[in-house]
Structure 1
Amino acid sequence: MASFVKRSVLCLIPFLLLAVVAVGEVATSADDELTTFIVHVHPHEDHELATADEKKTWYTSYLPEDGRLVHAYHHVATGFAARLTRRELNEVSSAMPGFLAAIPEEVYVPLTTHTPEFLGLVTNPPNGSVYGSDRGAGVIIGVIDTGVFPFHPSFADAGMPPPPARWKGRCDFVNASACNNKLIGARSFVTTTKPILNGTAGNTEPFDDGGHGTHTASTAAGSAVAGAHVLGQARGVATGMAPRAHVAVYKVCNATACLGSDVLAAVDAAVADGCDVVSLSLGAASHPFYLDAVAVAALGAVEKGVFVSAAAGNSGPNATSLSNEAPWVLTVAASTMDRAIRSTVQLGNGAAFHGESAYQPTNVSSSSSFYPLVQVGAALCGPGSLDGADVRGKIVVCQLGGGPGRNITRVMKGQVVRDAGGAGMVLVNSFPIGYTTLAEAHVLPASHVDHAASLAIRSYMSSTANPVARIVFGGTVLGTRSAPVMAGFSSRGPGLQDPSILKPDVTGPGVNVLAAWPTQVGPPPTQLDDGVPRGGPTFNIISGTSMSTPHLSGIAAAIKSVHPTWSPAAIKSAIMTTADPTDRSSGGGLLLDEQHRPADWFAAGAGHVSPEKAADQGLVYDIDPRDYVGYLCGLYNSSQNVSVVARRRVDCSAVAAVHGSALNYPSISVVFPRRWNTSRAVVVRRTARNVGTKVPVTYAVTVDMPAGGDVAVDVSPRELVFTEVGQEQSFDVAVTARRSGTGARKVVQGALRWVSGRYTVRSPISVSFD
C-alpha cells in the first residue's frame, strides 16, 4: 500500500477513502492566479441579513465581477467560496466588515450481503429485536460522495412511505423518475464552470462517475435485493443497515477529484434539506479544526441535531495517521468479518496458502497444471514494469502497494500481468499490512495472500531453480477465521490535534464489503468462457474506512428511528459504550490487529459496533453542542480561530475553557508529561443520563486496568442510583501515574464499566506518557 506525506499532503488512494490535498497557502498563491477560497465572515449587527438571497447579494457586492462566487453558505458555515487572486482577496478582506479568515481550496481525490448477519441484524428480525422490521423508518441519511446510480434495485422504493414532511430537498436528475420514496433527493455540487485537477468538469447531474457513492449509499440504507453476488461469490440478500431509511445523495466528486468548497456546500444543503444523518467517506491529512472545512461543517450540522459519521482514514497501521478527529464527529475505523472468498496458492513443494479473490473462473480447477512462478524486479507490477519481461503463461508475484506517489490499485496490477500474457497473479503483503487480505474482482486468476504466506512463497522461489504454482478456488466460506480483526490499512490514533480525545471512536465492517455498483466488474466482456456467473443487478466488493463509515451511518439512523429525541452525542455514546472489544469467533479473546496481536484503542476505538445493544443502552453521556465552544477555546486560545469553527463571533476571554479530557466524552484519554509528580492525580468528571425504562436502578462500577502497572484509576462514587428516567448523575475518575522520569512513550489502556442487572456501559480508558 502506498502511503506517504509530502507538503502536508496525504495520499490515501489505495483503499477508496477520499483524501485531501492542499492546493496551497494564501502566502504562496501566485498574485494573479485564480484560486478558490472559503471565506469566513461574521457580519456586524448592522449587516445582519435575513434571507439567503440577501446574503448572496451582499457577498457578491464585494467581489470583483460576476461569476466569482462559487457557493454561499447558510447553515453549517457563515461565509462563501469565491475564485479570487491573492491581490483580490486582500482587497476583499480589507473592505468586507466582519472578515475572519480565508482558507485555500482543498482538492479531494476519489480514493452487504453478510454484514447485517455478522452484526446481528437480519432482514426479518425475530421477536425481541429492538428495531422490529422498520430499521431506520422515518430517518433521512445524507450521503456526501461521488453521486449515485439511481436505477439500481438497491434504491427501489417498494413499500417505502413518502419522505417526512420536513424534507425540503430536490432531485436534480433530468429523468424525474430516477428519484422515488427511497432515493428522495440527489444534487450535484460538481459544476461545469470549475476546473478540477486536470481541467475537466463534472456532469451537472448527480450520476455516479465511479461507483464509490452508489456503494456507500446502498451500504447505509439500501433496499433488500435477493440473489446479490459479485462474479458468483458472496451470494445472499444485499441490504443496507437501515433499509427503511430514506436516502439523499449529494455529489461532490467527479471521476477524478472533489473540491472542499463543494463538500462544505453539500453538508450545508443536507442540513437545510432535513437530513438526520450525514455520512462522509472523506478524509484529510490532520489540520487544526479551524482550517478543516469538514470539521467546521460537521459542527454546524451537529448543532442543528444532525448526526455526522466520517472515515478514520486508510493510512494505517501508522500511528497518528487519523482523519476526522473532531470530537463532534463519529470517527470510524475498519475491520473484517468472518467471511472469506477463498483462493489458494499451491506450490510445487506441496505447501498451500489461503488467499482471496472475488474472480474465480471455473475453467481453472484443482486438476490444472502448475505454472512457472516468477517475480520481476521490485514486483510492483505497475504500468510498464513488465515490458520485455518473459511472463507469458506464468504466475507473477506482485507486491501490494505502488511506491511513493503512485496510485497502482490491486486490480490494475492484475491488468498489467494479463496484458503481458501472465496466467495468474499472486498478490503479496508487506509486513505492516500483516494478515489483511482483499477479495477483489480481478481480471485474471489471482490470490491475495497475507505476509506470512508471502515470506514462505518467496522462500520457496529462492530454494529452487524452477518454482511452480497453481491457484485453486474455494468459493465463499463463512465462519472459518477470527473476526473482527482490524484492517492493516485502517488509520490509527492518537489524534494529532488533541490526544486528550481518544480516537478513532469505533470500528465496523470495512473489508470485502459487498454493495451496489453501477457497472459489471471483473474481466472484460471478451473473456466470457470462464464459467463465472454474470448478469442481474451489479454489485462490487471493495474495502476501506469509506465502507465502514456508511455501516455506522445506517446504524445511527436505525437508532434515531427508535429514539427520535436522542441528540447526536447521545447516539454516539450508545454506539461507543456498547461496542465489543472482543473477537466474536474465539470465545471472548480480545479483538486482534492486522498482526493478530490484541488491538489497542488507537486502532479499534471503543471496539466493534453492536447495533442491537446500541439501540437499547441504559446510560448515555450527552454533550450540549455549546460545550464545544469552551473546548475549542481551551484548545486554541484564539477567539478568531474559534469563531471560524463556531461560525459566530466568540470571545474566548469570556468563555470557560474546557480541556479535552473534561469534555463529557464516552471514552477517557489522559496524557501525562514524561516527568510527573506521582503524588498528584488527574481527575476527570463524567455525567451519565439514565435512558433505561425501568427505575429505580443501580449501577456499580468496575475498573479494568492492567494489574501492578504504572497507572491507578479510582472512581467516585462507586455506585450510581437512578430513580427517574432522564435523571443525570455525575462521577469523578481519578487517574494517578505511578511512574516518573523520562523514556520512550508508553501507553496504558483499560476500561471502566457501569453494570446494572441489564446493562453494561463501557468506556475505554487510555493513559499516555508523552
Structure 2
Amino acid sequence: MAPLAHLAMYKVCFRVFCGDSAILAGMDAAIDDGVHVLSISLGGPSGAFYNGSLAVATFSAVQKGIFVSCSAGNSGPNSTSLGNEAPWILTVGASTINRRFRTSVLLGNKKLLHGESMYQPKHADHKLRPLIYHVKEGEHSAWCQPNSLDHFDVKGKVVLCDAGKLSTIDKGEIVLNAGGAAIIIANGIVSRESISAQANVIPASYVGYKEGVEIKNYLNSTSSPVATILCGGTVLGLKSDPMMAYFSSRGPNFASPGILKPDIIGPGVDILAAWKESTDNKKGTKETFNVISGTSMSCPHLAGVAALLTSAHSEWSPAAIKSAIMTTASQVNRMGSAIVDQTGLPADVFAIGSGHVYPQKAHDPGLVFDIQPDNYIPYLCGLGYTPKQVQIIVKKNVTCSETIPEAQLNYPSFSVSIKRGERKAFTRMVTNVGPANSSYTVGDVSVPKGVHVEFAVDDFEYAMRFTSVQQTKTLKVMFSRDANDKEKDLYGQGYMTLVSDGGKYTVRTPFSFKFE
C-alpha cells in the first residue's frame, strides 16, 4: 500500500503467546522510535478500556500523534464478536479481493463448480474418478476426521468432506493416507459462499455452501457419481468483489455501544505476501511467500493507507486521517451492487462499518470530523468510568466534571439507542480540508421506517459555508422515533451524506440504531 514506507518490526509474540508486558514494551519502543503509524494485528477479549493493555497503550500512541490500525478479529459472523473497539483505534474488518486461486469441480453430469486451492500440481490429470461422501456413517466421516475413513474403500477416489473441525490441509492428509486421489471441501451453512485458498497435499477444491449442496444433490441422483478437479491457476478481475469475509468479527460494539464498530473493511482474503521461510520445505529457495486470510491481513492494508495520508497531510491528526478513510469508503462492489456478506445479502453496518476503503478518495475527503486526545476524556467519563480508571488510560489527573454520551463524541458515524416517542440530539464539528471557499448541504439520507432525522448548522439552516481551510462548523443532528413505531427488530441502520456545491465531495456518515 505504501511501497516507499520505512518499516520497523517489533516482536511481541513467541509461538502462540503474546504477553501483555511484551506488547506494552514493543509499543513503548515504537513510540520512542518516532513511528507515524502502528499496525497491530493482535486482539483480545472485549471489556473496559482501562483493563485492556492494547487500549491503554494505543491511547498513548494517539497522544503522540501516531495513527493506530488494529484487527477487528476473526470470530465472525457472530454478533458482538469484535475486539479493539476503542474509538481512538481504526478497527478493521476483512473483505475479499478480485483474485482467486481457482480449482474447479467437474461432475459427471458436466456441471462445473468453482472453488479454490493453493495446491495446483502442474501434471495433474483430469480423469473422472468415483466420487464418495460418507455422511451416512456419521459426522466424523463427513468431516474426514482422523481414522474416520479407515474402513472405507477410498483408494483412487475423489472424497467430499464437509468443512470444519480440522484445517483443509489436515483433511487432505487424511484422505491421502487413506488412498484418496483428490478432495472437495464444502462449506457449511454458516460460512456459506465465503471461501479462501488453502494449502493441501492432493488436488483439492474448497467450495461454497451452494456448490456443496449441488454436489450432494448430484451424488443422490446417480448410482455411479464421478468427478475430477481442474486447476485454473490465478484468476483476476472478478467483478463481484469486494465481498465480506464470513470470519471477520462483527459489531455491535460491546465495550462502547454508542460507537459504531468496525470502522472500515479492507483486503483480508487470499493475501499474497513475503514469508520468512519456504512454505513447502524447499531448501535454499528465495521463493519465500505465503497466502493468508484474516483481519491480520486487512489491518496492515489500512495502516499502509494511513501512511500515505500521513505523508501527504502531515498536519492532520490521527482522528482526521481516520475520518478521511471512513467518510470516503465505498459500499458497492465493482459491478456497482451492494457489498454482500457470506449469505449473498447486503452486508450491514455491523459487518462493514463505513464500508470498503477507497484510498484515492481518502486523500481528498473535503471535510473531516476531528478529535483531539483530551476530547476522549468526557467520553470516557460518560462511560461510567471513575476518574482513577480514566487516568489509567490518559495518564493525567482527571476529575470527570464533564461527561458526554458516547454518541456525542465527534465520530464519523452515529450509533444511537432510541425508544418509541424519544428524541435525541447530537452535534458534530466538521472541519474543511478542501477548497477554502466551499459550501455543503445535506444530500441523501436513509433511516429505518418510524425514525426521523433533522439537521441544522450554526449559521444556515440547510448549508455549511466555508471561507478558509481548517475552518470548522457545527452540525446538529436530531433523531426521533414515532411513539407508535411497530419495529420489531432490535437494530436498524441508515446514513447521511454532506455534498459540496458542484458535487465534487460526498462525505458519508453511517447510522446504527438500537430500538429499545
Q: TM-score if structure 2 supplies the norm length?
A: 0.93
Q: Name the structure 2 match of 1:730.
A: 474
Select 1:600's aligned residue among 333, 336, 348. Answer: 348
Distance in 1 between the 2:484 and 2:154 partners? Answer: 59
For residue 634 of structure 1, what is the aligned residue in structure 2?
Answer: 382
User: Counterpart of 1:762?
Assistant: 508
The aligned residue for residue 427 of structure 1 is 185
For 1:391, the aligned partner's letter is V
Q: Pick from 249, 260, 265 the counterpart of residue 20 of structure 2.
A: 260
Question: Which residue in 1 is equivalent to 2:410?
Answer: 664
Counterpart of 1:651 in structure 2 is: 399
1:629 offset after TM fit, Å?
1.4
Alignment partner of 1:276 is 2:39: no
Q: What pairs with 1:395-544 in structure 2 (closer than 5 Å)? A: 395-402=158-165, 408-522=166-280, 536-544=286-294
Moved more, 640-649 or 351-360: 640-649
Give the distance between the partners of 1:565 and 1:412, measured in 2 at CA: 51
Among 692, 704, 710, which residue is 2:445 paired with? 704
Distance verdict in 2 for CA 1:640–1:753, change over 3 Å: same
Unmatched tracts of structure 1, length 5 or more: 1-240, 403-407, 527-533
Supply the distance in 2 between the matched residues of 1:579 and 1:364 (Cα, whole angstroms).
Answer: 43
1:467-497 Cα distance to aligned partner (Å, 9 max, x none)? 3211111122222340111011111111111
Matched, 1:683 2:442: no
Provide the residue aligned with 1:553 in structure 2. 303
Tell me which amino acid in the other structure corresponds to 1:251: K
- 1:583/1:590 contact within 8 Å kept: yes
Q: Secondary structure at the match of 2:306?
A: helix
Aligned residues: 506
**Conserved in 1, the CA contact under 8 Å of 2:185 and 2:205?**
yes
Aligned to 2:465: 721
The offset of 1:418, in angstroms, is: 2.3
CA contact (8 A) 1:570 1:623 kept: yes
SS of the residue corresponding to residue 8 of structure 2 reads: strand
Structure 1: how far apart are the matches of 2:49 and 2:16? Answer: 26
SS state of the match for residue 612, structure 1? helix
Q: How far 1:389 sits from its partner (Å)? A: 4.3
Q: Contact conserved, 2:129 with 2:158, CA < 8 A, in 1?
A: no
Deviations 1:337-378 (A, max 9, x none): 122221111122332211011221122244x23233333642
1:306 is aligned to 2:306? no
> Where do 1:322-401 residues align within 5 Å?
322-366=82-126, 368-375=127-134, 377-378=138-139, 379-401=142-164
1: CA distance, partners of 2:221 / 2:45: 43
Deviation string, structure 1 residues 271-295 (Cα, Å, up to 9, x no partner):
1111111111112221211221111
2:314 to 540, 556, 564: 564
CA contact (8 A) 2:168 2:199 kept: no
Q: How far off is 1:645 after superposition?
A: 2.1
Out of 325, 342, 360, the residue aligned to residue 612 of structure 1 is 360
SS of the residue aligned with 2:297?
helix
- Cα distance in structure 1, aligned partners of 2:304 and 2:278: 25
Query: Larger deviation: 415-424 or 301-310?
Result: 415-424
Shift of 1:633: 0.8
What is the rounded CA distance, in whole Å, between the counterparts of 1:342 and 1:739 in structure 2?
53
1:55-134 aligned at under 5 Å gives the runs none
Looking at structure 2, the residues matched to 569 and 505 of structure 1 have their Cα atoms a distance apart, in angstroms, of 12
Partners of 1:572 and 1:501 in 2: how far apart? 14
Change in CA separation of 1:713 and 1:452 when aligned onto 2, cut-off 3 Å: same
Task: Give 1:536 shift.
Answer: 4.1
CA distance in 1, matches of 2:28, 2:344: 42
TM-score, normalising length: structure 1: 0.63
Aligned CA-pair RMSD:
2.0
- How far apart, in 1, do the equivalents of 2:260 and 2:416 lie? 9
Distance 1:645 1:742, change over 3 A: farther
Provide the secondary structure at the position in 2 that maps to 1:359. Answer: coil
- Kept in 1: contact 2:130–2:224 (CA 8 A): no
Q: 1-side partners of 2:13 and 2:152: how far apart?
A: 38
Any idea what the Cα deviations from partners look like across 1:492-521, whole Å, max 9, x if unmatched? Answer: 111111221001000001111111112223
User: Quick check: 1:441–1:521 contact (8 Å CA) kept in 2?
Assistant: no
Within 1, Cα distance between the matches of 2:418 and 2:276? 50
- CA 1:651–1:274 in structure 2 vs 1: closer, same or farther (change >3 Å)? same
Please give the secondary structure, in 2, of the residue aligned with 1:508: strand
Q: CA deviation at 1:445?
A: 0.6
Deviations 1:661-703 (A, max 9, x none): 0000011111124xx3x2x4211100011111x2211111114
Given that 1:711 and 1:748 are in contact with CA atoms closer than 8 Å, whether structure 2 keeps it comes out as no
Give the corresponding residue for 1:121. none
Q: 1:154-210 CA deviation, whole Å, 9 max, x = no partner? A: xxxxxxxxxxxxxxxxxxxxxxxxxxxxxxxxxxxxxxxxxxxxxxxxxxxxxxxxx
The CA deviation at 1:743 is 7.0
Matched AA of 1:466: S
**Does the aligned pair in 2 maintain the 1:396–1:424 contact within 8 Å?**
yes
1: CA distance, partners of 2:144 / 2:196: 17
SS of residue matched to 1:754: strand
Aligned partner of residue 426 in structure 2, secondary structure: strand
Q: Please tell me the residue identity of whatever aligns with 2:306.
A: A
